[in-house]
């Protein structure tokens, strides 16, 4: 006898451009494989409270190009507790949901791993975070869009910095990872790039900036990752203010603008591939895994491996940035 199986899906943690495209791919692939899809609103919060709706292929029309997430996202303290996860498991069992697809970042996957372990539920992760900090995928959904948003802002800041021979410290997001800073720094031609992955020597920063501003007489733009151990652009500016008072040093913290906007083509394609791969992973019998893309091919990685260790940046790129400045 033919049995219709049910998949649950939610978006969790920080939103990232392309989450909608991933949801669309999950729903449409599921439908083509005869799964029913139940989507929870507000991430784990909606899973605990049973706030859901059934989604069919036409419910996800016209969302591939939209930023944010139509399901809404949330941070949920209750899900960090065993009681909270037990409530979530009850909702899943009551609705006959055998597998849960989590579109989110490392925190969401940690929560999902515990839910799976404690209640024997199939959990499949789709990496969606602008931070790009998950092991098991070369890129995460939303990273490319955030990168292009930050680069666009840096280009504009460069124009005004150049007009006045100013020194700009531009802070970009990424939590404790420097991927956005490294790539936007190179793409925006930054004079210096400060990352959490490499030790920042403030004296060396002073010397380098002196060379560029005094000797080469040109504007300077420093990209600072929010997780850099100097404490970010504002704190760094306090350390440098006295040395560079004549250059009208300016601090620009790009902030949440990096999370928003329509996903780039690259993110839409990535999200479509991963959304579809997540459903395929369920039908192939995978259990606690994340679907990712490595060297342009789908790769399945055990969920617990994706957040256990730090994803490495490419230090060759940092050397390249130094050479080209």
Interacting residues toward ligand ATP by CB under 6 A:
12-14, 44, 75-76, 79-80, 104-108, 110-111, 114, 129, 131
Residue 162 a catalytic site member:
no
The per-residue DSSP string of 100-139 comes to EEEEE-HHHHHHHHHHHHHHT-EEEEEEB-TT---TT-SS
Q: Which of 131, 144, 228, 267 is catalytic?
A: 131
Task: Choose between 85 and 166: whose C-beta lies nearer to ligand ATP.
Answer: 85
Q: Tally the C-alpha atoms within 13 A of residue 52's C-alpha that lie toward its C-beta.
A: 24
Alpha carbons 158 and 188: distance in angstroms, whole number: 8
For the CB of residue 259, give the shortest distance to ligand ATP in the complex, in Å. 9
For the CB of residue 123, give the shortest distance to ligand ATP in the complex, in Å. 12
For the CB of residue 81, give the shortest distance to ligand ATP in the complex, in Å. 8
Task: Choose between 5 and 75: whose C-beta lies nearer to ligand ATP.
Answer: 75
Alpha carbons 236 and 150: distance in angstroms, whole number: 20
Task: Choose between 75 and 299: whose C-beta lies nearer to ligand ATP.
Answer: 75
Alpha carbons 54 and 190: distance in angstroms, whole number: 47
Task: Choose between 129 and 272: whose C-beta lies nearer to ligand ATP.
Answer: 129
Q: Map residue 195 onto helix, strand or coil.
A: coil
Q: What single DSSP character describes residue 288?
A: S
Q: What burial class does residue 165 get, using C-beta atoms within 10 Å of its C-beta: 0-12 exposed, 13-18 middle, 19+ buried?
A: middle
For the CB of residue 253, give the shortest distance to ligand ATP in the complex, in Å. 17
Q: Which residues are marked as active site?
A: 131
């Amino acid at each position: 006898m033919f049995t219709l199986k049910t998949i649950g899906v939610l978006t969790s943690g920080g939103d990232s451009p392309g989450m909608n495209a991933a949801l669309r791919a999950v729903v449409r692939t599921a439908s083509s494989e005869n799964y029913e899809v139940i989507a929870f609103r507000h991430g784990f919060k909606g899973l605990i409270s049973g706030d859901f709706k059934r989604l069919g292929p036409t419910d996800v029309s016209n969302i591939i190009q939209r930023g944010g997430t139509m399901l809404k996202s949330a941070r949920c303290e209750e899900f960090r507790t065993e009681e909270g996860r037990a409530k979530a498991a009850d909702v899943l069992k009551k609705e006959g949901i055998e597998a849960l697809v989590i579109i989110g970042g490392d925190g969401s996957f940690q929560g999902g791993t515990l839910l799976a372990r404690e209640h024997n539920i199939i959990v499949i992760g789709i990496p969606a975070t602008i931070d790009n900090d998950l092991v098991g995928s070369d890129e995460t959904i939303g990273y490319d869009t955030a990168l292009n948003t930050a680069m666009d802002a840096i280009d504009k800041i460069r124009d005004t910095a150049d007009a006045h021979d100013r020194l700009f410290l531009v802070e970009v997001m990424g939590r404790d990872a420097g991927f956005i800073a490294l790539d936007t720094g190179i793409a925006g031609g930054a004079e210096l790039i400060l990352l959490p992955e490499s030790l920042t020597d403030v004296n060396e920063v002073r010397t380098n900036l002196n060379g560029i501003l005094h000797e080469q007489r040109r504007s300077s733009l420093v990209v600072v990752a929010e997780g850099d151990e100097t404490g970010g652009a504002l704190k760094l500016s306090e350390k440098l203010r006295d040395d560079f008072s004549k250059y009208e040093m300016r601090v620009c913290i790009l902030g949440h603008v990096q999370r928003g906007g329509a996903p780039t083509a690259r993110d839409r394609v990535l999200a479509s591939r991963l959304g579809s791969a997540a459903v395929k992973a369920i039908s192939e019998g995978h259990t606690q895994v994340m679907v990712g893309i490595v060297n342009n091919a789908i790769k399945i990685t055990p969920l617990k491996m994706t957040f256990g260790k730090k994803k490495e940046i490419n230090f060759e790129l940092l050397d390249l940035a130094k050479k080209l400045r």
